[in-house]
A and B are shown apart, each in its own frame.
Chain A
């Protein structure tokens, strides 16, 4: 299957700092990328959807000024958690889809665990 990578895999930062997480599709061009958040023992919660070259679409309740998403190329999307606080500590997972067609498979990255002290 297609490969999606994330970097870093784990990050610890101080409260008030910003953290950038990269998501790359390694062997295909991702027209659409998704960012999810997952709390322990819970399901994945979609945060936002981004299409290459356009602004991200955020889900209700997700602050766009706090979670900045950039999808500048067909193989890279970044999520920046600005002015991070302890409640932002979570497992962040990206996924990528090659096309916008209905039913196309989403491939997930390995996730980034963020711990804000």
Chain B
């Protein structure tokens, strides 16, 4: 499969601080990327997506940045809250073939009250 990986497997932040979760991908043909949040014992929850014709997209308290030159993706969470504690996965969609998502290894975010 494709290689989608994360730089940091765990991240701890103080409540109220901003969080940045990073992801590297290897396939330059990928043109659609999604961030998912997974809480313990639950399925992944869609957070935000971005297409390769953009380099930044903002949602509510979240921003995704895409750097196609170095094949890097990041998720920024503003004013992190205890409810943000979860595992975050990036996923890439490859244009050719089965049009499936490939998931990274995940980063566990722990918010310290």
A-side residues, CB < 8 A to B, are: 1, 4, 6, 34, 42-44, 46, 49, 57, 91, 93, 95, 100, 102-103, 105-111, 113
Q: Mark B4-48, 1 if CB is under 8 A from A, else 0.
A: 000000000000000000000000000110101000011111100
A to B CB contacts below 8 Å, 25 in the list? A6-B43, A34-B100, A42-B106, A43-B89, A43-B103, A44-B89, A44-B103, A46-B100, A57-B98, A91-B41, A93-B43, A93-B44, A95-B43, A95-B44, A102-B32, A102-B95, A103-B31, A103-B93, A105-B34, A108-B43, A108-B44, A108-B46, A111-B42, A111-B43, A113-B41
Known: A43-B89, A44-B89, A102-B95. A109 touches B43 (CB 8 A): yes
B63 contacts A by Cβ under 8 Å: no
Whether A111 contacts B103 by the Cβ 8 Å rule is no
Taking the closest CB of chain B, its distance from the CB of A42, in whole angstroms, is: 8
> Which 8 pairs between the two chains have the least Cβ-Cβ distance?
A108-B43, A103-B32, A111-B43, A108-B44, A43-B103, A110-B43, A44-B103, A93-B43
